[in-house]
Amino acid sequence: MTGTAQDELFKLLDIYGEDAFACASLLASAPGEGTQQALAILHARLGAFPSKSAAADGCTETDWIEALLRFAPVVHRHHLSLGVPPEASAAILADVGLNLRINRRVHGRFGLDTWAWLTLHMAGNIFRIGRLQFHLVRGEAGGPAASNSWMLGIHIPEDGGLSPALVDTSLSQAREFFDRYFPDKAVSVAICESWMLDPYLARKLPHSNIAAFARRFTLDRCSDAPGDAVYFTFRQRGMDNLDRLPRETSLQRVVLERIDDGGAWQLGHGHLVLPPAQANRA
């Protein structure tokens, strides 16, 4: 990869600083067997609308980092072939750089323990629209959308708040976006699986933006996810040394006090009906 092409890639993926040096080192030689295998998996998933992340299949974390770097331009071209604006493609692919920086915060080194999450981005069916990210997938039997129909999975990036106005705009613009660029895959329902939908959180912080966000959804069920609240609030893997974590905000206190009291955080699974696209409103 030439220097210019590499610079353009790192700009697209929002990679800079120490991570840029480490990524450049990975790209300095031809991909090894593990990276080639990971690339083959990514190629097979592109345009197939997978709902789940790719499995490791014997590839190492480093193999996956290199594969994500090498495959990102393919995804970008795929987005453009659908008519998706370059800035919309860049907005979701920038998650690669963001997650490299998060890895440094969590582990203090170069790496990407969230590589599997980013394999969804490389399939070409997840986009950031305003405050939220939306993942276009088929409905499943027994779910809120009819089997073989289409729905949007909602993900919540860590940057910024969840004010009702921002969420309203994001939901409406998402309907318009997918109607425009995926017109044969009409969506009316969105789902979210998040610790923020655990009913305990809304009870303890009823006037918060998080509670307002959770109330948008019909809660279908909850499942065990005791570490999610700790990871997404503090960016710490595991449940050790919780006494060392800060309790400066009301959210931090609620997360830790529930664990202190012997409780366990859960993953809430909910759905909502999307509002009409702004362009289609009377």
Give CA–CA dist 136/185, Å, rounded.
9
Q: Decide if domain 196-268 falls under CATH 3.40.630.120.
A: yes
- In sequence order, the 6+-apart residues with CB closer than 8 A to the CB of 134 are 126, 127, 128, 152, 153, 154, 155, 174, 177, 178, 190
The size of the chain, in residues, is: 282
Is the whole model's pTM more than 0.75, yes or no? yes
DSSP symbol at 50: -
Give the model confidence (pLDDT) of 217-238 as tens digits: 999 999 999 899 999 999 999 9
Can you list the alpha helix ranges (DSSP code H) found in 82-195? 86-93, 95-107, 115-121, 164-181
Q: How far is CA 171 from CA 61, 177, 185, 207, in A?
A: 34, 10, 17, 21
Order of all β-strands in the sheet with 132-138 = 126-129, 132-138, 150-155, 187-194, 266-273, 218-224
CB of 172 closer than 8 Å to CB of 277: yes
CB-CB contact of 126 with 49 (8 Å): no
Mean pLDDT in order along the chain per 10 residues (282 residues):
90 98 97 98 98 96 98 98 98 98 96 98 98 95 78 93 95 96 96 96 96 97 93 93 94 95 95 78 42
Spatial separation of the C-alpha atoms in residues 254 and 178, rounded to whole Å: 36
Q: Which residue blocks in 182-227 are alpha helix, DSSP H?
A: 199-204, 209-214
Residue-range domain boundaries for the chain: 1-124, 196-268
65-92 per-position pLDDT tens digit = 999 999 999 999 999 999 999 999 999 9
